[in-house]
Amino acid sequence: MHIDLKKEIKESGPGKTGLIILLLMIAVALLAPILAPYNPYQQSTVSLLSPSWDHWLGMNHVGQDIWSRLVYGARTSLLVGFGVGIFSTLLGTIFGVSAALIGGLYEKVVMRIVDAFIVIPMVIIIILIAAYIRPSILTLVLLLSLLSWQGGARIMRAQALSLKERGHVAAAKSFGANHFYIAWRHVVPDLGPILLVDFIYGVRRAVFMEAGLAFLGISDPTVVSWGMMMRDALNFSYLSVWQWWLVPTGVALSLTIIGLTFVGHAAEPTIEPRLRGVEIA
Amino acid sequence: MLEIKELRVNYGQEVVLNGIDLELNSGETLAIIGESGAGKTTLGLSIMRLVEGTVRGTIRLNGKNLLSLTDNEMQQIRWSKIAMVFQNANNVLNPVYTVLNQIMEPMIEHRLKSPEEAQDRAMDLLGYFGLPRERFPAYPHQLSGGEQQRVLLAMALANDPELLILDEPLSSLDAAARAQVGELLKETGKHCAKLVTTHDLDTAGKLANRMAVLYGGKIIEVGPTQDILSRPRHPYTRALTRAYPNMTTVKDLQGIKGRMTHPVSGCPFHPRCTQAIDVCRAKIPKLAWNQERHIACHRGGIITLMSTKNLTKSFGSLKAVDSVNLHIEAGETLALVGQTGSGKTTLAKTIMGLHQPAEGAVYLEDVKVDNRGKDFYKRVQMLFQNPGESLSHRLSVLEAVMEPLDIQGVGSKEERENKAIQVLGEVELPQTRDFLNKYPHHLSGGEMQRLAIARALVLEPALLIADEPTAFLDASIQAKILKLLLNLQEQRGLSMLYITHNIAAARKVSDRIAVMLDGKIIEESAASEIVTAPKQAYTQSLLSAASALHSTAYIP
Amino acid sequence: MLSKRNFITYVIAFLFILLLNFLLPRMMPGDPLIAIYGDEALITMTPELKAHLVERFALDEPLWQQLGAYFLALLQGELGYSYYYSAPVLSVIVGRLPWTLLLVGTSLLLSTALGIILGIESGWRRGSRTDRTMLAGLMSLNGFPDFFLGMLLLISFGVTWGIFPLAGALTPYSGLSGLALLLDILRHLFLPVAALTLAHLAGGYLLTRNTMITVLKEPYMLTAKAKGLSQRVLKYRHAGRNSMLPVVTQTGIWVGRVITGALFVELVFAYPGVGYLTYEALLARDYPIIQGVFLMVAISVLVANFLIDLSYPKLDPRVSYAH
């Protein structure tokens, strides 16, 4: 059980690359005010300017500096990504582990709901809801989390079920421990690696989703989002703006997702032997 | 038809096969006997060139060296000229195709039959091996272990191969199925050659006409199966037959001392061999003909430890011992059974030199024994009938056991004492100071006899002559003493001449039994044969009179 | 481990979708009629029509009665009326459906089949340069969102090199027929399908590759090799056939993903399918259309999943049909 995740990731080629990319993106997001020379929301009358010394990536159709927007866009993607990642992994763990430990009707009901949600494509539901209520970033995080914890729950439950049978759990029960204690002290700590992998893939999914929804134009218009930038760029695709507007944005988005994919893939072998056959991503 | 020379297979640093030479002709079945880890599966796989390790040497099939073929050429040979029946484990058959389909596959892929012909033949084969018709379209997981085995057999024969390699072919079958399938196997492919690898002597007996024993990556004994099984000549082979529960042997089961270890210099078996000498540690013995058997042993197989030729001893006109010819091999127990007055004890004492023979001689390792000096007694020791009498009541336990060492002047006093204490441990007596200072009259009957055995063993003799060793003991103690003697034989390779009137006890500890009447040996043979099919009427009467728990114990 | 989703799961999912569809407009502030029919409705509806609709959908009644009315209407196949298109929602959707089916169907087929084949080949050569390159390559490809891929393809092949057309499913007013028409459709279809296929290739590839690695260690692979079968047979008939199984289980979920992916791709290429329709409806706040599409898509995904679950035992004889 003593699997050194850090070691696993460090030793894998793609893992290392992914980690570097991720750290880079996080750094960009954190250092945005320093890296961005202009206010990303500041509009001006000059529009669709090619890159120059003043504006490294030029300006968009309402005169905003693209580079600054790019840098601040990292914040949105990562914020939503990590927010949803944490929240959905948390929910998945709570429901999955409790279902395994409590069992009975509770388990049956929870798992039926989980299975039902796994079948429905998330994007469709969000689009439907977003059509009525334009979600703010916070609402978006909440919505995405509520719709994506189910996959993790299934895995957590499977793992908790097998952990439940271990000797030290039986011993704790014989001392009179209740479910919560057992979950907290005996089950969840052993779930470490799986929690992390679930989290990483959750972040990835969320980054994807946020960009996609912004691209469709149904996410929070008050924040800078890479998806929204790409949507705007699309309308001007017949011009050569795509070189400095579309591509850097798309590449930044893709790199972030690739970084997450690589790290997740490197971490997978730590749990794969025990979870043969269950798909993680 | 199949000729293997100097086959060596390594997995990295580990040597699995260390120079194998084998020959097989069509129509013959050769069994390779080996325990787990001996390399028998590797041998089968390397003929098919399916091993992962490095393979050196030559494997000739009809003159062509298989190891020099290209991958493509080998691929064509597989399953058309050589086929293999794998050991039946889970998932040896592909779970997503029907068994019928999997039998048809090699026929079609090697372009030997059309799909219709293939199907017909596949059904014939399955029917031949006794699979019920309704099972033909089944998937592997729907069949029982025995049924899967039949499928594997049918599949191997699909393309009528010239060489069939079978890895534990009967292991997943129950006893009745084994007999049946064994017969079927013997019938089919009368024209093909079969190589059977197994750890099971019964399978070898049923299927093979020749047998090769594999130990430590080398073939140590080769010959006709029945010959080897009834008269094994290599210490390992003999130990195998003694360890194998079967309906023929009557002697109790014995193991082999130690464990198989890799790597070993010299003869692979020498750490566990009880007749090993210096050269065994240094050089690997080659497979050679010793007038009876091909065997790889520096000593030519199991040696004859002691033999007598026309030994005669008379007391006046009475011939107590009349032209006795006996021999005892290293590590074996010969029981001398007869009634009181038959001359058993006289014979024992004559061998020991306590009587002078009138005629004939005693030989120790083929060397005639004229004067019995210290050397002789180092190698032959005797255990007397009444331990109470044979132990001096003046000597303590320790002194009694040390006495032979003192007489022979072996080592320093301290060394002798340590040796004595060690041997006391071997016979399962306490080694505490308290016990060492006790006197024989403080001990029970069983303890006294153990003490006598310890004393007899302290000189590390090769032959122990035990004259009615349990006559004065209770039955439960007798059982322990007999077990102890068997253990000592297993651990030290001790040979025994076990003298008794009790044939029921004799058969539990002896390999061979000699029946003595009026000074003559009237019958001598393997214990199992004497007990089940005696030739002499006297022997028969001995058996009928022997102890039995049920009245119908013996039906001659 | 197969997920033995049974029928109840699908029923729950279905009910959830219906409920969501039902509740959302009615929970919005303001006139429920606008919420259901959209802003346009306010302008074009006559007072009589409004009254009729209010009565039809029991909009002034308690919620549970509204639910009943809603169900009733659904059962009659009525998905509502779009004031934007001035046509019943059902007919609007059905009009656009064939293009989406073409796009989604082709992409799903291609990405699954290619993913499996590449996964088999990669798994067979595990650790080799080919494998590692394919793995890194496809994982990277997986990181590109389908709309970005679409845009890249559009710009390079459409705008810059002009090989493929920029928008639409066929050239309008061209009066083509027969083979020429087919070719025209294919030309328009090529880039969208390419984008969608490439974006979803990695899923099948990774799963097949992983399964392949475990399958190759199984005893029956040694048996097959001993039978002297060719590499191709070993790879596909024996290893591949066993490696495919988990992929089939997941296909149901992938259908959902590809359909949502089609939404984005249609947008990028202005491909006149249901996805583009949804986008237009979002812009115009044409709620009936959005609801209708949502219902259709959700139900198709559910049905597809269910059908795939049903067909799995045919592929894996170890699974008994115990439901």
The CA distance from A255 to the nearest CA of chain C, in Å, is 7
Please choose, from the candidates B166, B151, B51, the residue with its C-alpha nearest in 3D space to the C-alpha of residue B105.
B151
Burial class (CB in 10 A: 0-12, 13-18, 19+), B471: middle
| Inter-chain residue contact C151 with A246, CB threshold 8 Å | yes
Peptide bond into B357 cis (omega under 30): no
Identify the helix (H) or strand (E) that includes residue C279: helix C274-284
Please choose, from the candidates A151, A14, A36, A9, the residue with its C-alpha nearest in 3D space to the C-alpha of residue A84.
A151
Residue B543 has pLDDT above 70, yes or no: yes
CB-based contact (8 Å) between A14 and chain C? yes
Residue A278 has pLDDT above 60, yes or no: no
Contacts of A154 in chain C (CB under 8 A): 3
Residue C2 has pLDDT above 50, yes or no: no
pLDDT digits 0-9 by tens, A186-204: 777 778 888 888 899 899 9
pLDDT band for position A273 (cuts 50, 70, 90): low
Contacts of C135 in chain A (CB under 8 A): 14
What average pLDDT does this structure show over B353-381?
84
Count how many Cα atoms sit within 13 Å of the Cα of residue C116 in the half-sphere of its side chain. Answer: 20
What average pLDDT does this structure show over C257-264?
85
Which residue out of B51, B73, B87, B96 would a mutagenesis test of the C interface target, given it has the greatest number of C Cβ atoms within 10 Å? B96
CB-based contact (8 Å) between B135 and chain C? no
The CA distance from A112 to the nearest CA of chain C, in Å, is 6
CB-based contact (8 Å) between A25 and chain C? no
Give residue A265's pLDDT: 83
More confident residue, B66 or C321: B66
CB-based contact (8 Å) between A262 and chain C? yes
Please choose, from the candidates A236, A189, A198, A230, the residue with its C-alpha nearest in 3D space to the C-alpha of residue A213.
A230
pLDDT digits 0-9 by tens, B37-87: 778 888 888 998 888 888 888 888 888 888 888 888 888 888 888 899 888
Alpha-carbon gap, residue A167 to C120, rounded angstroms: 40
Backbone angles phi, psi at B328, to 5 degrees: -130, 130
pLDDT digits 0-9 by tens, A207-226: 998 998 888 888 888 888 89
Give residue A10's pLDDT: 64
The residues pairing with B361 across neighbouring beta strands, listed in sequence order, are B309
The residues pairing with B521 across neighbouring beta strands, listed in sequence order, are B516
Give residue A121's pLDDT: 80
CB-based contact (8 Å) between C155 and chain A? yes
Please choose, from the candidates B268, B237, B190, the residue with its C-alpha nearest in 3D space to the C-alpha of residue B26.
B190
| Inter-chain residue contact C301 with A120, CB threshold 8 Å | yes
- DSSP notation for C56-97: HTTTTS-HHHHHHHHHHHHHTT---EETTTTEEHHHHHHHHH
Alpha-carbon gap, residue C254 to C199, rounded angstroms: 12
Alpha-carbon gap, residue C79 to C292, rounded angstroms: 6
Alpha-carbon gap, residue C227 to B106, rounded angstroms: 6
Chains meeting A at 3+ CB pairs closer than 8 A? Answer: C
Whether A and B touch, i.e. at least 3 CB pairs below 8 A, reads as no
Lowest mean pLDDT among A124-133, A268-277, B68-77, B95-104: A268-277
Could you tell me which chain C residue has the CA closest to the CA of B98? C317
Give residue B360's pLDDT: 85
Alpha-carbon gap, residue B512 to B530, rounded angstroms: 8
Residue with tokens 């060596």: B8
Contacts of C203 in chain A (CB under 8 A): 281
Q: What letter does residue A39 receive in the DSSP assignment?
A: -
Q: Which conformational region is residue B152 in: left (phi greater than 0), alpha (psi within -120 to 50 degrees), or beta? A: alpha
Return residues 69-128 of A near C (CB < 8 Å): 112-113, 115-125, 127-128
pLDDT digits 0-9 by tens, B427-483: 888 888 888 888 888 888 888 888 888 888 888 888 999 988 888 788 788 888 888
- DSSP notation for B342-369: SSHHHHHHHHHTSS--SEEEEEETTEE-
The residues pairing with B471 across neighbouring beta strands, listed in sequence order, are none
Contacts of C316 in chain B (CB under 8 A): 95-96
The residues pairing with B211 across neighbouring beta strands, listed in sequence order, are B31, B223
pLDDT band for position C72 (cuts 50, 70, 90): confident
Answer positive or negative: Cα dihedral of B31, B32, B36, B40.
Answer: negative
Q: What share of chain B has pLDDT > 90, as a percent? A: 6
pLDDT band for position A271 (cuts 50, 70, 90): low
Identify the helix (H) or strand (E) that includes residue B334: strand B333-337
| Inter-chain residue contact A124 with C298, CB threshold 8 Å | yes
Contacts of B93 in chain C (CB under 8 A): 220, 223
The CA distance from C123 to the nearest CA of chain B, in Å, is 18
Predicted complex ipTM: 0.80
Please choose, from the candidates C79, C124, C139, the residue with its C-alpha nearest in 3D space to the C-alpha of residue C237.
C124
Question: Which of B75, B93, B95 has its CB closest to that of C228?
Answer: B75
Give residue B342's pLDDT: 82
- DSSP notation for C136-194: HHHHHHHHS-HHHHHHHHIIIIIIIS--S-SSSSS-TT----HHHHHHHHHHHHHHHHH
The CA distance from B155 to the nearest CA of chain C, in Å, is 9
The CA distance from B76 to the nearest CA of chain C, in Å, is 6
Question: Which of B77, B91, B142 has its CB closest to that of C220?
Answer: B91
Please choose, from the candidates B233, B246, B306, the residue with its C-alpha nearest in 3D space to the C-alpha of residue B462.
B306
CB-based contact (8 Å) between A253 and chain C? yes
pLDDT band for position B213 (cuts 50, 70, 90): very high
Give residue A1's pLDDT: 41
Cα dist. B336→B99, B230, B516, C21, C145 in Å? 58, 21, 7, 100, 92
Residue C254 has pLDDT above 60, yes or no: yes
Give residue B32's pLDDT: 92
Give residue B513's pLDDT: 92
Which residue out of A16, A119, A146, A205 would a mutagenesis test of the C interface target, given it has the greatest number of C Cβ atoms within 10 Å? A119
CA angle at A191 for the pair A185 and A195, rounded to the nearest 5°: 125
pLDDT band for position C118 (cuts 50, 70, 90): very high
Give residue A173's pLDDT: 77
Residue C106 has pLDDT above 70, yes or no: yes
Q: What share of chain B has pLDDT > 70, as a percent? A: 98
pLDDT digits 0-9 by tens, A43-94: 777 777 777 777 777 777 887 888 888 888 888 889 999 999 999 999 999 8
Please choose, from the candidates B228, B224, B196, the residue with its C-alpha nearest in 3D space to the C-alpha of residue B209.
B224
User: In the structure encoding, which two tokens stand for residue A251, read together?
Assistant: 């590449």
| Inter-chain residue contact C13 with A158, CB threshold 8 Å | no
Could you tell me which chain A residue has the CA closest to the CA of C282? A131
Enumerate the H helices of B20-69 as residue ranges.
40-47
Could you tell me which chain B residue has the CA closest to the CA of C317? B96
Residue with tokens 């597989």: B78
Could you tell me which chain B residue has the CA closest to the CA of C245? B96
Give residue A86's pLDDT: 93
Lowest mean pLDDT among B283-292, C93-102, C171-180: C171-180
Mean of the per-residue pLDDT values of chain B: 86
Mean of the per-residue pLDDT values of chain A: 81
| Inter-chain residue contact C297 with A124, CB threshold 8 Å | yes
| Inter-chain residue contact A128 with C20, CB threshold 8 Å | yes
User: At residue C309, what is the residue type?
Assistant: D
pLDDT band for position A281 (cuts 50, 70, 90): very low
Strand-strand pairing, C81-82 and C87-88: antiparallel
Give residue B224's pLDDT: 92
Alpha-carbon gap, residue B307 to B482, rounded angstroms: 24
pLDDT digits 0-9 by tens, A100-124: 888 888 888 888 888 888 877 888 8
Alpha-carbon gap, residue B146 to B171, rounded angstroms: 9
For residues B323 and B312, is the Cβ–Cβ distance under 8 A? Answer: yes
Q: 3-state SS string over B412-475?
A: CHHHHHHHHHHHHHHCCCCCCHHHHCCCHHHCCHHHHHHHHHHHHHCCCCCEEEEECCCCCCCH
Alpha-carbon gap, residue A172 to C153, rounded angstroms: 59
Cα distance from N-terminal residue to C-terminal residue, chain B: 47
Cα dist. B450→A171, B159, B453, B454, B476 in Å? 49, 64, 5, 6, 14
Give the orientation angle of helix B413-426 with respect to helix B445-457, to 10 degrees: 130
For residues B391 and B400, is the Cβ–Cβ distance under 8 A? Answer: yes
Could you tell me which chain C residue has the CA closest to the CA of B138? C317
For residues B549 and B532, is the Cβ–Cβ distance under 8 A? Answer: no
Contacts of A218 in chain C (CB under 8 A): 282
| Chain B with chain C: Cβ pairs closer than 8 A | 68
Could you tell me which chain B residue has the CA closest to the CA of C226? B78
The CA distance from B176 to the nearest CA of chain C, in Å, is 27
Question: Which of A115, A132, A261 has its CB closest to that of C3?
Answer: A115
Alpha-carbon gap, residue C278 to C263, rounded angstroms: 8
Residue with tokens 């060489």: B163
Chains meeting B at 3+ CB pairs closer than 8 A? Answer: C
Please choose, from the candidates C177, C158, C179, the residue with its C-alpha nearest in 3D space to the C-alpha of residue C167.
C158
Cα distance from N-terminal residue to C-terminal residue, chain C: 15
| Inter-chain residue contact B96 with C220, CB threshold 8 Å | no
Enumerate the H helices of chain A as residue ranges.
5-11, 13-30, 32-35, 66-102, 104-119, 122-132, 137-164, 167-174, 179-181, 192-216, 226-235, 246-267
Residue C322 has pLDDT above 60, yes or no: no
| Inter-chain residue contact A262 with C139, CB threshold 8 Å | yes
Could you tell me which chain B residue has the CA closest to the CA of C232? B109
| Inter-chain residue contact A132 with C154, CB threshold 8 Å | no
What average pLDDT does this structure show over B138-165?
87
The CA distance from C312 to the nearest CA of chain A, in Å, is 15
Please choose, from the candidates C309, C315, C314, the residue with its C-alpha nearest in 3D space to the C-alpha of residue C250.
C309
Alpha-carbon gap, residue B204 to B31, rounded angstroms: 6
The residues pairing with C82 across neighbouring beta strands, listed in sequence order, are C87
Residue A280 has pLDDT above 50, yes or no: no
Residues of C at the B interface (Cβ-Cβ below 8 Å)? 218-220, 222-230, 233, 238, 241-242, 245, 315-318
For residues B82 and B46, is the Cβ–Cβ distance under 8 A? Answer: no
